[in-house]
Structure 1
């Protein structure tokens, strides 16, 4: 029952224990792992509809994050599901290109006017790695510069070697990627000066969950690309379809050389895209006299279901202002939550950051520092009152009732949070261990 103070998770716990026996980590994405949720309170989902999900125990929650930001129209959104069903009835995968590939490519290049060509794949890592390979081939340079204040770009070695979990990446490859700071052109200039003529690509999200570009920053990166000769790659995996149908590059008016898309492109169905300038993209094609680049050649990249999902999502965006709806939902939620936090006198400890379409919350301890145990306590109390979410990332499917329930859950959670601050810790309030960073080198001993 949604909103109960002590939901039963016994069926989910049994299923999660079995998952740990069969699947490394008990989930297929680190952010979905049981260690990211309060102990004994990690629901295993059976179904979703709109902005609500139901777990194996029959608990129903208002969900935020929406499939790691992949769902903007709501779970089970009928026009997309119906379009996929119609498409796959005629076949899913063929030995030659299908008409769906032509339809999707034409539509995508209309959606992203700065791009000349596109190639589809199934996940963001495939297309960001393809962008890096293209950049290295085009420039003859070895290094990649990434924005180190942004969390994640790829599961492949060129990026994982920079994280807290580089084990398995050859040491010789760990120096192939260097970092600079967002909104700090001088830090990028310093990287270019330290590695003159060696940076093939600069990869960054044009904006992030917690930071907008300062005036002139993205334009400055574009100028540096033109002067130095590196390839500018925008990671639009999150921003695309949440900032605008045309991506954050349209919002900020800066054209990258290549851009990588995914997440909400299919409203949860797997589809990603690499798009960019013709002279770069053709290096992976047949119409080039240069040495060819192996560029996103996958069996399942062009399957008809994902392409049909994308076209149906874009239809919805073209017919309705989905971003405006999400902005309205997120703004209303932010205003109401901030009001509750202010009333509770916790404005220095519970904070909201980011655009209304992609909002996250920060949980700070008595000294104003980010605190995992306080975050876990907040998540625990939200779950007890019917809200599942590591963030407040909304969808267009969140209703007034969903938002009202969320505000009530926050209202119930804040006094518990205040007690933890007063006593200097979560002892006696938090059940079990605190959550841990998803990317970390050692798994601390814990009951799974």
Structure 2
């Protein structure tokens, strides 16, 4: 099926002239999509989007996992419209801050206090700073098998794009492996009394915690004195309304929330134990910590969006809906893959609420070229997504279209496997890792 992307291509070229990378998030960059097939979106409704050329797609990923109720979800949009009609930002706290804090702390019973912000990096960096102040220690231990924690120096210095981060800052971040308590013990032994905090996602699209792993982290934190931080930015409101900490029954000292809190509206939260959080307040005898202090963190629109989202989660079991839809999609796609004998090369991975697909070459190795070919064929048949991460807005019709798109993509994939590569089938260059030191040698236009 042929689709015209010419208007999107012109807009993308102009974006590259005006915006570094042509997008405001690396994961949204045109280098993450097949060449000349990177739609520029005009509007969305439910789980479908329309681009500048009038193409419509079933979307997955849904705003980098931030949209669980669907694009333009009326109850949330109306709540935001009503709130901002009475003002957005004031010189004193608004009643929305009290309402949102009371609701959030009821939603996350393990937390005593909360501070709202606008994005995940605000709150993960605040957690790191708070942990360092509380412990008097310099080092941050990150789970190195998980992809992203912050745009700030303490994390970016550990990535393939460390430019601009001083070497001494990079040395303050150390790594351990998920589901491997011994790897963390090795870090603690190598840096006795120096690790301020351990930060990780309790679970992810690629790995669930093995029995005893999270409880073991809790014991190590209590023994060693580091602060245990759960990154709930993806898991919170997707694994459970109460977060992955609730699912697995382990209470962190601090937790960081974002994405689905506002169904795409910008809001994030840092929550945790009172004795830690109060160090950023006025009821402490310790030296105060500059925790989170932002002009736009408590603007009324984001807080109203959160409250409207939580209303929906209280009214209906959104997580159960996403789970059922994800299970149906995973089973259907796996069935199509099995029917043509490509089980070893196209795989659907992860929990139903956060499905990924793996694309492997003839030798069963992960392949960016084969991934790009798969993305290309999905786009041609009406599916936009770097994953199969679902929302509660996806309908049976959306899933049926997706399964049909996969069915049509697989014969092309099989041809590439028979040829030993994508040459002659892939139009343009393969996608590249979003975080990499050097831009692609081919000029982006």
- TM-score range (shorter-chain normalised) is over 0.9
Q: 1:115 aligns to what?
A: 111
Report the 3-state secondary structure (helix = DSSP H, G, I; strand = E; otherwise coil) of the residue aligned with 1:68.
helix
Please show how residues 48-447 of structure 1 align to structure 2 within 5 Å: 48-447=44-443
Shift of 1:447: 3.9
CA distance in 2, matches of 1:178, 1:344: 44
- 1:76-100 deviation per Cα after TM superposition (whole angstroms, max 9, x unaligned): 0000000000000000000000000
State the Cα distance separating 1:353 from its structure 2 match. Answer: 1.0
CA displacement at 1:344 relative to structure 2? 1.1
Q: Deviations over 1:106-131 (max 9, x none)?
A: 00000000000000000000000000
CA distance in 1, matches of 2:301, 2:181: 42
CA distance in 1, matches of 2:341, 2:185: 43
The 2-side partners of 1:53 and 1:445 are apart by 31
Structure 1: distance between partners of 2:157 and 2:290: 22
- CA deviation after TM superposition for structure 1 residue 445, in Å: 1.9
What is the SS of the residue equivalent to 2:50? strand
Output the CA distance in 1 between the equivalents of 2:357 and 2:4: 26
| CA deviation string 1:350-405 (max 9, x = no partner) | 01111100111000111111100000000000000000000000000000000000
Aligned residues: CA RMSD: 0.4
Instruction: After TM superposition, give the deviation of residue 55 of structure 1 in Å.
Output: 0.2
SS of residue paired to 1:357: helix
CA–CA distance in structure 1, aligned partners of residues 249 and 351 of structure 2: 18
Q: How many angstroms apart in 1 are the aligned matches of 2:257 and 2:440?
A: 34
Count of residue correspondences: 444
Stretches of structure 2 that go unaligned for 5 or more consecutive residues are none
Residues 48-102 of structure 1 deviation map (CA, whole Å, 9 limit, x = unaligned): 0000000000000000000000000000000000000000000000000000000
TM-score (norm 1): 0.99
Partner of 1:25, secondary structure, is helix
Give ranges in structure 1 of 5+ residues lacking alignment.
none
Deviation sequence 1:211-255 (CA, Å, 0-9, x none): 000000000000000000000000000000000000000000000
List structure 1 runs of 4+ shifted beyond 4 angstroms.
none
